[in-house]
Amino acid sequence: MRLMFIDPPAMKPRSTTVVIMLVSLWLASLGNIALWQSFFAVPEISGWQGMLFGCAFAFVIACLIAALLSLFAWKVTLKLAITLLLLLAAFSTYYMLMYGIVVNTSMVLNVFQTDYREARDQISWRLAVTVFLIAVLPSIWIWRQPFVHTSLLRQILRNSSIFVVSIVMAVGTLQLVFQDFASLMKSRTEMRFQINPLNSLYGVARLTVFPSKVDRGPLLAIGTDAQISTYNNSLNTHPPLLVFVVGETARSQNFSLNGYDRTTNPLLQKEAVASFTNVKSCGTSTAESLPCMFSHLGRSAFNDRENEVENMLDVLYRAGYAVLWIDNQSGCKEQCARIPSVSTSELKIPAHCSGGECRDTVMLERITDEIAKLPAERRAKGTVVVLHQMGSHGPAYFKRTPTEFKTFKPECTDSSLSQCDRSEIVNAYDNTIVFTDYFLSRVISWLKAQEKTSTPAMLYVSDHGESLGEKNMYLHGLPYSVAPPEQTTVPMITWLSPGFEKLSRVSTKCLQNHRDKALSHDNLFHSVLGLMAVKTSVYQRELDFFAACEGR
């Protein structure tokens, strides 16, 4: 018997064109499960016609991906480009399927600005499986393929023909189903942000290659004439002290102060607060809302602004107040760039901090000392402190509350919300509101303790809301035009000490009577300046919601 040594069969070199076609079909079908799930959920799409329309839609997507890949179909770049597209598609698919989100520019911006703690909350084995199936497996196959060697001239010819043929086929197919396609895109705008991986590429391109909307002109100063108008001097009161709490992911409807049928505000309901029920946010994510909340421009003008513009805190500072930002979250998004700021999220105070994050109450642990560091001559005029909460940040709501605040049980303790019963998700979320209720009542207690030296007040507003399974949507960040009210209706609560009511001549009684008035983040800039008696030409009294209650 003779021993035979057989070489493993040499792999047949693949034509790049075939690989591009296969990858494009893979991405258009499996890489777009989230899109097809929403597509076939549209009631008007059914039967054979719906199926044909779906196939045509998928074919158009495949052609566009092929055209895109043809630009990178060079020996050194093709495998890298394919791997990158597969990864983008896999990550987006996971988030779209798990949380019902879509991938638009602001979502991409969120990804860039996410801090590691939030990212850590979201890592799960389901993410690993999705990425493995959609991206890693096909990538392994791709990297093992030898490509056919061709001359540069032939490569140029081949790439340009793939590009032209793909575009012609995409346009041709689109023409055949144009009526259906146009009406679908009009009625289901969010679907265009579900097309993988074109959605994430478009988002990245909007932020980097075409940054006209992001990279704005130099910073414009506003309120250069700002002054503190003479408060009623005869009152001879202590200087005002306003704590402005910026909430996180709190939605209005889950506050019992606003009519929620669960007691989520057991402590605040004992305080003399005014809780506004009809307040709209400026955006549906922190990155979008936060800068807009402090701007004088209002939502639409803010989105169209050509320059970066100074904010409410700059004007308060210029008027002469001591201003401070305390951050227990992912930073102030440039809002505290020109004023003193501290971060408490990395502190290691055992009573408040564990597992690399601190409870919002840690900010009260620091506030007295941090205020003491501000210039005395400014503090003599008055102080404004922003407290930026971790609040109800998801999806790991259960991580935001200490055991003794877990009023509603059982809680969802899985970061992949879709693995929990909806009631468990709502329980975990409501517990974060109970904790925010405690935090705000602690802020008020702290303010009351300052009455010997200051005239205190508190304003609390959340940055955006949250979806908790309504219409199968979770979390936040949908494009504003299609975002459900759960993501855009935010709580706003004011507390004025008796001294502050006298000083500002604004009565809480009157505010309570106006609690259902339609308001939005657009009102904040002018209302805070009004409350703090700042005189400046940028102030618009008609947007100041305290003004209606002045002297009443």
Q: Which residues sit at the interface with Zn ion, rule CB under 5 A?
A: 248, 286, 463
Count, residues in the chain: 552
As to burial, measured by CB atoms within 10 angstroms (0-12 exposed, 13-18 middle, 19+ buried), residue 471 is exposed
Nearer to Zn ion, 139 or 284 (CB): 284
Q: 392 is written with which tokens? A: 């109800």
Closest Cα partner for 135 from 199, 201, 197, 87? 87
Tell the smallest beta-carbon distance from residue 279 to Zn ion (Å). Answer: 15
Long-range pairs of 465-469 with CB within 8 A, sequence gap ≥ 24:
465/249, 465/250, 465/251, 465/252, 465/281, 465/284, 465/489, 465/490, 466/249, 466/250, 466/251, 466/392, 466/394, 466/429, 467/100, 468/251, 468/422, 468/425, 468/426, 468/429, 469/417, 469/422, 469/425, 469/426
> Cβ-closest residue to Zn ion?
286
Contacts of 383 (CB under 8 A, 6+ apart): 239, 240, 241, 242, 321, 322, 323, 324, 371, 374, 454
Q: Are 133 and 93 in contact (CB under 8 A)?
A: no
Nearer to Zn ion, 86 or 490 (CB): 490
Tell the smallest beta-carbon distance from residue 464 to Zn ion (Å). Answer: 5
Tell the smallest beta-carbon distance from residue 287 to Zn ion (Å). Answer: 8
Q: Are 310 and 351 in contact (CB under 8 A)?
A: no
- The residues with which 535 forms a beta bridge, in sequence order, are 227
**342 to 173, 244, 330, 334: CA distances (angstroms):** 56, 15, 12, 13
Nearer to Zn ion, 430 or 463 (CB): 463
Tell the smallest beta-carbon distance from residue 249 to Zn ion (Å). Answer: 5
Rounded to whole angstroms, how far apart are CA atoms 525 and 543?
9
Q: State the CB neighbour count (10 A cutoff) for residue 148.
A: 14
Nearer to Zn ion, 250 or 519 (CB): 250
Rounded to whole angstroms, how far apart are CA atoms 400 and 405?
10
Q: Are 394 and 475 in contact (CB under 8 A)?
A: yes
Tell the smallest beta-carbon distance from residue 32 to Zn ion (Å). Answer: 28
Nearer to Zn ion, 206 or 476 (CB): 476
Q: 166 is written with which tokens? A: 């793909």
Tell the smallest beta-carbon distance from residue 402 to Zn ion (Å). Answer: 21
Amino acid at site 495: W
Nearer to Zn ion, 104 or 139 (CB): 104
Q: 101 is written with which tokens? A: 């989100």
Tell the smallest beta-carbon distance from residue 462 to Zn ion (Å). Answer: 8
Q: 524 is written with which tokens? A: 């904040």
Nearer to Zn ion, 248 or 430 (CB): 248
Tell the smallest beta-carbon distance from residue 475 to Zn ion (Å). Answer: 10
Nearer to Zn ion, 166 or 520 (CB): 520
Tell the smallest beta-carbon distance from residue 530 to Zn ion (Å). Answer: 25
Dihedrals phi, psi of 285, to nearest 5 degrees: -145, 165
Nearer to Zn ion, 318 or 521 (CB): 521
Q: Are 312 and 528 in contact (CB under 8 A)?
A: yes
Tell the smallest beta-carbon distance from residue 389 to Zn ion (Å). Answer: 9
**327 to 310, 358, 366: CA distances (angstroms):** 19, 11, 11
Nearer to Zn ion, 248 or 314 (CB): 248
Nearer to Zn ion, 139 or 286 (CB): 286
Nearer to Zn ion, 117 or 515 (CB): 117
**CB-facing half-sphere around the CA of 484: CA atoms within 13 A:** 17
Q: 439 is written with which tokens? A: 């935090």
Tell the smallest beta-carbon distance from residue 545 to Zn ion (Å). Answer: 22
Tell the smallest beta-carbon distance from residue 463 to Zn ion (Å). Answer: 4
